[in-house]
A = this chain, B = another copy of it.
Amino acid sequence: MKIYGHKQAPNPRRVRIFLAEKGVSVPTEEVDIFARDNRKPPFLAKNPLGGIPVLELDDGTCIAESVAICRYLEGLHPKPALFGETPLQEATIEMWNRRLELVLFQSIGMVWIHGHPLTKALLKQIPENVAPARARAAEFFALLDAELAKRPFIAGPSYSIADVTALCAIDFGRFIEVTPDASLAHLARWHAAVSARPSAGA
C-alpha cells in the first residue's frame, strides 16, 4: 500500500492526520504538483481527475478522494472510530464533514483558485468570485463557533474526521488569508486543542 501525496497540499494532509490518529503508517510518494505531474498520463491512470491524494493498493487498485481513502483505512483499522459507530453518530459526522467540505473548503478553494497569485498562472481566474467566497467562509466560521460553544468537537464529544477536515481547511485558509475572526473564542479554543494533538504535525 502506498499513498501519492504532497507535503503542502491540504487534502493529503487530511489522510496523514487520519493515519496518525489511527497510529498507522503508510509509505508516501511525493507528486510534484507544481510541475503538474498529477495532470499527466502516468498519474491520470491512477486518478483520471488528477487530484491527490491517491491510495494505491498492492494489486494496483487506486482509491482517490481523501475521505474515500480514510473510509477504507477505517475499515482496516476500526479503532479509534473516526467516522462514528452508531447510525446517528455516523450520520452526524457525515453531515458535518459534508458541510465543512461543501461550504468551507469550497469557499476557501474559490479564494485560492480565483484570487491567489500562485494559481493565476495556471488557470483563468474570475476575481468577482473572491468576495462572496470570503463572505461565505466568514459566515461558516461564525456558525462553527456557535456549534463549538455546545460541545468539544465539531460532530460531538469525540474527535472525528470532521475535525480533521476542519483543521486542514482552516489552516489552508490561513495560508491564503481566509481566517476566522479573532472574536470567535469557541472556534479558537477548538483550533488550539486539535492543533496540539500530535497528529496535527503529520
Binding site for B on A (CB under 8 A): 48-49, 57, 61, 63-65, 67-69, 71-72, 74-76, 86-88, 90-92, 94-95, 98-99, 101-103, 106, 124, 126, 128-129, 132, 143, 146
Contact = CB atoms under 8 A, between A and B. Distances in A.
Given A65-B95, A95-B64, A129-B126, A75 B103 contact: no
A49 B129 CA distance: 20
A65 B94 contact: yes
Number of copies: 2
Contacts of A102: 101
Binding site of A, secondary structure by majority: helix, strand, loop or mixed? helix
Nearest to A93: B68
Nearest to A98: B65
Nearest to A77: B87
22 contacts: A48-B143, A48-B146, A49-B99, A61-B88, A63-B91, A63-B92, A64-B95, A65-B99, A67-B98, A68-B94, A68-B95, A69-B91, A72-B87, A72-B88, A72-B90, A74-B87, A75-B90, A75-B91, A106-B106, A126-B126, A126-B128, A129-B129
A94 B71 contact: yes
A103 B49 contact: yes
A107 B64 CA distance: 20
B72 A91 contact: yes
Given A69-B91, A124-B132, 8 more contacts: A63-B95, A64-B95, A65-B95, A68-B95, A101-B102, A106-B106, A126-B129, A126-B132
Nearest to A123: B132
Shortest Cβ-Cβ A-B pairs, 9 listed: A75-B87, A72-B91, A68-B95, A68-B94, A65-B95, A68-B91, A65-B98, A126-B128, A63-B91
Given A128-B126, A129-B126, A143-B48, A92 B68 contact: yes
Contacts of A65: 94-95, 98-99
A134 to B, nearest CB: 14
